[in-house]
Amino acid sequence: MSILEAISAKRDGRANTDAQLCLIADGASDGSIPDYQLSAWLMAVFLNGMDDRETADLTMAMAESGERMALDGLPKPWVDKHSTGGVGDKTTLVLLPLLAACGLTVIKMSGRGLGITGGTIDKLESVPGFRIDLSPEEMKEQAREIGLALTGQTPRLAPADKVLYGLRDVTGTVACLPLIISSILSKKIAGGAEHVVFDVKCGSGCFMKTLPEAEELRTGLVEVGQKAGLKVRAAITDMDQPLGHTAGNALEVKEAIRVLKGEPGRVHDLVVHLAGLALESCGAGDKADAASALDSGLALAKARAWFKAQGGDTTVFDSEDWQTAPCIRIIESPAAGYVSKIDSQAVGKLVIRLGGGRKQKSDVLDPTVGVELHVEIGDKVEVGQPLAAIHSSSKIEFEPFIQIAESPVEPAPIILA
């Protein structure tokens, strides 16, 4: 068996065997298969696809390409979550301490943002002192103490995925469902999770623009996840407007803390829904229990313990006077009416221009910049009413991203499916 046989089979539309997929994962992780052959195989998969069996086999092969965290000795259930990402998505910052406050053990690897606003690691790095480089041993010990640990991606877990994802990014093969699914699930399995909740975003501010596309990804994650031995729940959620009121790293951490303190709204509702799915999957409660743990302050206390355990400055919970931008420009409504559209994609592109997101992996982010929204779709506004604030390092010109209509507008629900 050789890599040429695996490439030829997929090039000709035939399925790869489990052995071939293990060969590819091992060769990617140890460097024995050159990039040009891995790239050829990725393009063949992009063009000809994979069935569920192949996707599940690739998922397990990538999970086994490095270490797998053994969570033995930690209280069960062992839970993880994943969002497919979108503008203003600060869900993890609230959901993880909420799940831990409900008695679940949560260990998570998160990534940085690319081509959109910052990822979870970028947001947490805006907090002075916050460590995002925990070793598997440190993660396990911290989870034992407080029920929660998060780190950036480590080469010790699912190293094949890191290599293959890097090649997908430069070969135009990122938008391939089997490769997306196996990439996501392999890291969950390597991290030791038994239960996983997926937040599949749908709309202009994320990767899956339409509901059928999001449904296809949700179905794939659930079915392949189950084949790989995970207990999976998944929701499709709205991303036709930014999630919550902020997009930008420090701004999003500040908003997440406000939600932990009881601020109502779409972020609160989404987090409670996802936590309810996790609790139901584990047989440990339901949505009402999740809402109680959030609204009572238990999740806030857990978040403080989490930040302290990872070296973060916990005074960020007491004041928003940190990581502030020097320039704040208020956008006022040009007309009376109703907010009919907040263009998520335009907001995301603006945050990147401000320096809060990456065009390429080497870009250094400015944690202080971003967009703060004062309205949501459906809100009634008057002439001159503040619609948003642009937080920047200097004055910048931009295209309008909020539209006003004369007639009332009904916003999409946060949970689409």
Q: What residues contact 251, with CB distance under 8 A and at least 6 apart? A: 370, 371, 372, 391
- Which of 82, 195, 201, 349 is catalytic? The answer is 82
- Would you call 188 a catalytic residue per the annotation? no
- Which of 29, 126, 182, 183 is catalytic? The answer is 183
- Which of 10, 123, 187, 233 is catalytic? The answer is 187
- Which of 80, 161, 238, 240 is catalytic? The answer is 161
Tally of CB atoms within 10 A around 13: 10
Q: From the centroid of its chain, how far is CA 361? A: 17
Tally of CB atoms within 10 A around 283: 10
Per-residue exposure over 34-66, b if at least 16 CB sit within 10 Å of its own CB, e if not: eeebbbbbbbbbbeebbeeebbbbbbbbbbbbb
234 φ, ψ (degrees, to nearest 5): -150, 140
Rounded CA gap, 245 and 39, in Å? 40
Instruction: Tell the residue number behind the tokens 């790293």, with chain if given.
Output: 249
- Would you call 168 a catalytic residue per the annotation? yes
Helix 266-282 to helix 287-295 angle, to the nearest 10 degrees? 130
12 φ, ψ (degrees, to nearest 5): -90, 5
CB 174 within 8 A of CB 164: no
- Would you call 187 a catalytic residue per the annotation? yes
| Per-residue CA distances from 102 to 81, 138, 142, 256, 294 (Å) | 15, 22, 17, 18, 9
Tally of CB atoms within 10 A around 79: 28
Q: What is the DSSP letter of 340?
A: E
Strands across the sheet containing 78-83: 148-152, 105-110, 78-83, 195-202, 231-238
Supply the residues annotated as catalytic. Answer: 82, 161, 168, 183, 187
